[in-house]
Amino acid sequence: MLKLGLTGGIGAGKSEVSRILVSYGAVLIDSDRIAREVVEAGTPGLAAVVAEFGPEILAADGGLDRPRLGGVVFSDPERLRALNAIVHPLVRDRSAELQAAAGPDAVVVHDVPLLVENGLASLYDMVMVVDVAPETQLDRLVRLRGMAEDEARARMAAQATRAERLAVADVVIDNDGPIEALEPQVAKVWADLLERRSEAAG
């Protein structure tokens, strides 16, 4: 098994890179998706979040009101740490289960937005960073996701800096350009991963 850690700032285009890798045959373990699953209605994770933040972070249907919780934690580092202390261990355990199920020959891609922030680089055989300029991130968040500019800036500020991400990268995918420029870069990395896997097996 070969474990690839995939990260990048919000709006960098990680999901597009992971989609391409899956199309080549990678097994994707998406931390964001798991983070949503572990706090779905009726889960122990949601009960823990409500105990920490109060019932006002629940929506009318009993699920998590994500925008409301986001409004609390993204402007307050202390509250964000409290949320992460609940969610991250649950995500880690579920990710480990999925990785174990992937099989010995798999190339497993862990899409981890907070890989750098949480010091996780050493868990992977290789770290891929999807890199864009901060102004590109801001433009995509405002134009494509409909965020207010101050909210987008707060989300970006809550993450590692571009320099911190690049410092842990084994390979950098430049996603500042057009979408057509992305796949050739990813294809090259995929070929390298397959070569590494066969060397490890050999």
For residue 96, how far is the Cα from the chain centroid?
15
As a whole number of angstroms, the distance between CA 92 and CA 85 comes to: 11
The amino acid at 30: D
> Per-domain residue ranges for the chain?
1-26+106-202, 32-104
Per-residue tokens: 77:
């580092």
pLDDT the model gives residue 85:
94
The reply to whether 32-104 shares the fold of 1-26+106-202 is yes
Q: How many CB atoms lie within 10 A of CB 6?
A: 27
CATH architecture of residue range(s) 32-104 = 3-Layer(aba) Sandwich (3.40)
Residues whose CB is less than 8 angstroms from the CB of residue 93 and which lie 6 or more positions away in sequence, other chains included: none
Residue 189's pLDDT is what?
94
Of 181, 154, 8, 161, give the one whose Cα is nearest residue 76. Answer: 154
Q: Give the pLDDT of residue 26.
A: 96
Q: Which two tokens stand for residue 101?
A: 């199920």
| pTM, 2 dp | 0.85
Task: Return the amino acid letter for 10.
Answer: I
pLDDT in tens, the chain (202 residues): 999 999 999 999 999 999 999 999 999 999 999 999 999 999 999 999 999 999 999 999 999 999 999 989 988 889 999 999 999 999 999 999 999 999 888 999 999 988 999 899 999 999 999 999 999 999 999 998 999 999 899 889 989 999 999 999 999 999 998 889 999 999 999 999 999 888 877 7
pLDDT at 174: 96
Residue-level pLDDT at 68: 92
pLDDT at res. 48 = 97
The CATH H-level (homologous superfamily) assignment of domain 1-26+106-202 is P-loop containing nucleotide triphosphate hydrolases (3.40.50.300)
